[in-house]
Chains A and B, each alone.
Chain A
C-alpha cells in the first residue's frame, strides 16, 4: 500500500440525483484519497455514467440530496468550468465532436482559462506548443490529429486517446474515466492505459468506471465498488473485479433485491 494522506480528496455523502424527474442516484457514498485508484463497476443502468456526470456538473441532472466535497470545498456549488480548474477531469464515454474548433485552440483556451483562474498569465505560444508536443507523446497522439478539429473524424480509439491527451495537458487531481475501454481494440487499450499509468502520482487519484475486468488488468485499482440501482452495494479490493468477471452481477443483484 502506498502512502496515504489523511485528508480525503473527494467525499461523496448520501448523494441523490435525478434526470427529468427520475431518480437515478439513491444515496451514493464514496471517499477517495490522493494516490488511490478506484474502480466502479456495475450492470447497465445502475447509474455509473450519471455519477460521473453529476460530479462534473452536467446541467441535465438535478442533485436532490446529499453532498460532495472536493478538497473541503462544496463541489456541487461550482460551475463545471470551476470544477475543472479545481482539478476534476472526466474522460467521456462518448467524446463530443466540435467541428470548426481546432484542438490547438480548444486546448489553449482550456489551459489559459485555468491559468486565469489561478491568477497566472496566459502561456506563451511557444511554451504552449512545447507542452502540446510533450503531452502528445504520452498517448502517442499523431500531430495531424492535434491540428484537426476537436474529435472530428477521429476513430473510436483516437477519440479515447485524445481524452487522455487532454487529461495529460490539464493535469487534474482527480480523473474519472468513464468506460474508457469501450470501443477500443487491444493495442489502443494498452496505449490508453499506459498513458493513464504514466500520469499517475501520489498526489492524484483516478476513478475508473468500467463494465469489464479487461481495463483493470492494465490500470490496477486499489478498490473495486459495485454500483447497483443507484447505490454502492459492495466495496472490496481488486479481487472483486476478478470475481465479477467470473460470476457476473446476478449473484449481487439477487443478494440486494432479496434484502
Chain B
C-alpha cells in the first residue's frame, strides 16, 4: 500500500477548491508535483537515504487537510507567547497553515517585505516567481507539499537593505482534529542585503496527531548575508517532514541552524547549493531527544564554485529510547579549486537504549581542495563525571552540566545574541526536564 495514494486522491477530488484559493504561481507547479507523486515509490526504511525513518509510516495516518481554508478565529497574542521572549522581532504566526501577522509585524519592516504568497502575487509577482525554482519534485515529501500548498510566507530583502530586526515566524498546530499542515516559505535576499530569520514550531495539543509538511526555499544574492534559525519545540505526536533549499551567489554568507528540543518524529533535509565563488556556508544543528523522540537529518552541501568555505556541525544528545540519524554529504564538483569544507557530527548516547545512525560522505571531483569530516558517537566522559563529583557536584547535576557543555559550541554558533542567551536557558530547561513547564506560553507543548 502506497501511503501517497490518499493524498493524490484527496488532491484530485478537491483540485478546483485548492486552485481557487491559491495564487496562480502555486497552481502552476501542481501538475508536475502530481505526476511525480504518481510515479513515486516511498523509500523503504533502511534504504540509502532513509536509514532510520519510514516515510510510509509517517504518511500512512489519515490526516485532514484544510482544503477549504477554514480560518482560525481567536486572539493570536493571547493563545500563544513564544518561548523566545524579549526579542524584538517582526512576528508572524502560522496557525496550522494559515499565516496571521502579529502586532509587531509591519509589511515593510525597515525595508524588508514580508507578505503572504497571496499578497505577494498581487504586489511583488516578480519576486514570488522564485517559488518552486529550487524545490526538487523527485523527493516525494517535497512533491506532496508542492501539490497541496495553498499559501506561504514570502520574505524579500531588497538590494542593499540591512534588516535590524529579525523576522520571526511561529508555526503552531492548534487543530483539535488530526491535521496535516502544508507550510511553505520563500526567502529572497537580494545582492548586498542582510537579514535574520527565526522560525519556531509548536503544537498546542499533546494528544492530537499532526503532520507538518514544510518546504523552505532561500535565495541568497551576491555579497548578501542571511541567518535562518529553525527551532522545533513540538509535541510527541507531531511529525514533521521539512526540506530547506538554499542557493548562494558569489560572496554570500549563509547560516542555517536547525534545533530540535521536543518533537515526535522529524525528518529535516538541507539542500544547499553554493553557486558563486568566495561564499561562506555554515550549517549547524542541535538535537536533544529523550523518550521516543526521533530526529533524522539529511544534508547536502553542493559546492559548484571554487574558493568557498563551508562548515557543518550537527550534535545530538539522545536519552531514553530516542533515535537519531544523520546523513550528510559534501559534494565538490569539477573545477572548484580552493574549496574548504568541513563536516562534523558528534553524538552522545546518554542511555543504553538510545540509538544513533550516522553516515558522513564526501564526494570530491577537484584536486585542489581541503575537505574533511569527523563523526563520533560516545557516552559521557566518566573521568569528567568523577572529577565533578569529587568537587561535590551530584551525579545528576554533573551529567546535566556535561550534556549542556557538549552543546555549547553549537549554541555559540548562533549569531543572534538574544536567541543564543535564550537557547542556553532552553537547553538547560530541556535537560532539567522542565521545558514543558514553560511559564511564558499557554501552549502545553513539549513533554
Contact = CB atoms under 8 A, between A and B. Distances in A.
A and B, one complex?
yes
Interface of A: 56-59, 79-81, 83-85, 89-90, 92, 95-101, 105-106, 109-110, 113-114, 117, 149, 166, 170
Interface of B: 381-384, 386-395, 397, 401-402, 404-409
A110 B402 contact: no
21 contacts: A80-B389, A81-B389, A81-B395, A84-B389, A84-B392, A96-B381, A98-B387, A98-B402, A98-B405, A100-B407, A100-B409, A101-B405, A106-B388, A106-B391, A106-B393, A110-B391, A113-B394, A113-B397, A114-B392, A149-B405, A170-B391
Given A96-B384, A96-B387, A106-B388, A81 B402 contact: no
A97 B391 CA distance: 14
A152 B361 CA distance: 31
Contact of A84 (B390, B397, B408): B390
A100 B406 contact: yes
Given A101-B405, A105-B401, A109-B397, A84 B386 contact: no
B384 A81 contact: no
Contact of B384 (A80, A98, A109): A98
A178 B331 CA distance: 51
Contacts of B402: 98, 100-101
Contacts of B407: 100
A58 B388 CA distance: 11
Contact of A81 (B394, B401, B405, B409): B394
A83 B387 CA distance: 13
B348 to A, nearest CB: 12
A87 to B, nearest CB: 10
A146 B386 CA distance: 21
Nearest to B394: A81
Contacts of A58: 386
Contacts of B384: 96-98
A101 B387 contact: no
Q: 3 closest pairs, A vs B, by CB?
A: A100-B405, A84-B392, A80-B389
A109 B401 contact: yes
B288 to A, nearest CB: 14
A117 B392 contact: yes
Contact of A98 (B382, B388, B390): B388
Nearest to A88: B390
Nearest to A92: B387
A127 B377 CA distance: 40
Contacts of B391: 84, 106, 110, 166, 170
Nearest to A107: B391
A101 B401 CA distance: 7
A179 to B, nearest CB: 16
Interface centre among B381, B393, B402 (most CB of A within 10 A): B393
A96 B383 contact: yes
A173 to B, nearest CB: 13
Contacts of B387: 92, 95-96, 98
A183 to B, nearest CB: 17
B276 to A, nearest CB: 35
B401 A79 contact: no
Given A100-B408, A100-B409, A101-B405, A80 B397 contact: no
